[in-house]
Amino acid sequence: MNTRFFPIICSLLFLASCKSATEPGVVYNYFPLSVGSHWHYSAGSSGAFTRTCVGDTTVNGKIYAVIVQTPAYQFAQRNKDSVWYYRKDGSTIYTLLPDTMNVLHECKYIEPTLGASGTYYTLTFLGATEKLTTKVTYNVTKQNFRDTTDGKVYSNTMIEHIRSEIFHPGSTSVVTEGDYYFAEGVGLEDQVVYGDLTMELTGYEIK
């Protein structure tokens, strides 16, 4: 994989997912957003890192939790690929993604319905003029099952399949897809991307 695409792929693949809510009145929490919560991951050859909810911020009149990754991606553009913004509305999680001229727009990240799916596009600038258009599609393929990751059992897990296609001017597109596992009350606990990107939760603390 071309390393110049790595931070964009990671950010976009990290930014997009869903869940199931077949039981009326049930509110699921597949991504705790309390300040101070943190998650430790192992990513194979890419090394280990931590994601922490450091606080919140207001964008377009809405309050978003701020998630920061340390260490930052090696190829992060102006650090923006290591900071994410999320807000919760019931069981649904929304995130902010960059669009034309890096304006942030809100997209669904976790939608708690089996079979939920969607498509969105982003535009990312590399330097002053070079830009990449990315098409992301997602769908929820499984819900409410037990999963084991790194020796730990998660009793209520969902899977979202995500496909990201980056269109680069003058060259063929770069496609990455995989499955993302979210555990109730925990967050992202496993990430299996077809190819060379795999990520496992090794420890966490929800405040």
The pLDDT of 44-54, averaged and rounded, is 87
Round to whole Å and give the CA distance between 120 and 168.
Answer: 17
Does 126 or 107 have the greater pLDDT score? 107
Does the pLDDT at position 207 exceed 90?
A: yes
Task: Supply the pLDDT for residue 102.
Answer: 61
Does the pLDDT at position 39 exceed 60?
A: yes
Closest of 26, 62, 43 to residue 198, by C-alpha: 43
Q: Place 128 in a pLDDT band, splitting at 50, 70 and 90.
A: low
Does the pLDDT at position 194 exceed 80?
A: yes
Residue 31 near residue 184 (C-beta atoms within 8 A): no
| Residue 76 lies in domain | 3-205
Closest of 6, 26, 9, 14 to residue 188, by C-alpha: 14
Residue 9 near residue 132 (C-beta atoms within 8 A): no
Does the pLDDT at position 121 exceed 90?
A: no
Does the pLDDT at position 184 exceed 80?
A: yes
Q: Give the domain CATH number at 133.
A: 2.40.360
Task: Supply the pLDDT for residue 14.
Answer: 53
Q: Place 99 in a pLDDT band, splitting at 50, 70 and 90.
A: low
Q: Place 123 in a pLDDT band, splitting at 50, 70 and 90.
A: confident
Question: What Cα–Cα distance (Å) separates residue 30 from each residue in 17, 112, 118, 148?
Answer: 10, 9, 18, 16
Give the chain's domain count.
1
Looking at every residue in the chain, the average pLDDT score rounds to: 81
Does 187 or 10 have the greater pLDDT score? 187
Residue 4 near residue 171 (C-beta atoms within 8 A): no
Strands lying side by side in the sheet with 83-89: 104-110, 92-98, 83-89, 62-70, 48-59, 38-42, 197-205, 187-193, 174-183, 152-167, 130-149, 117-126
pLDDT tens digits, 14-35: 554 433 444 556 789 999 999 9
Does 206 or 199 have the greater pLDDT score? 206
> With pLDDT > 70 as the criterion, what percentage of the chain qualifies?
77
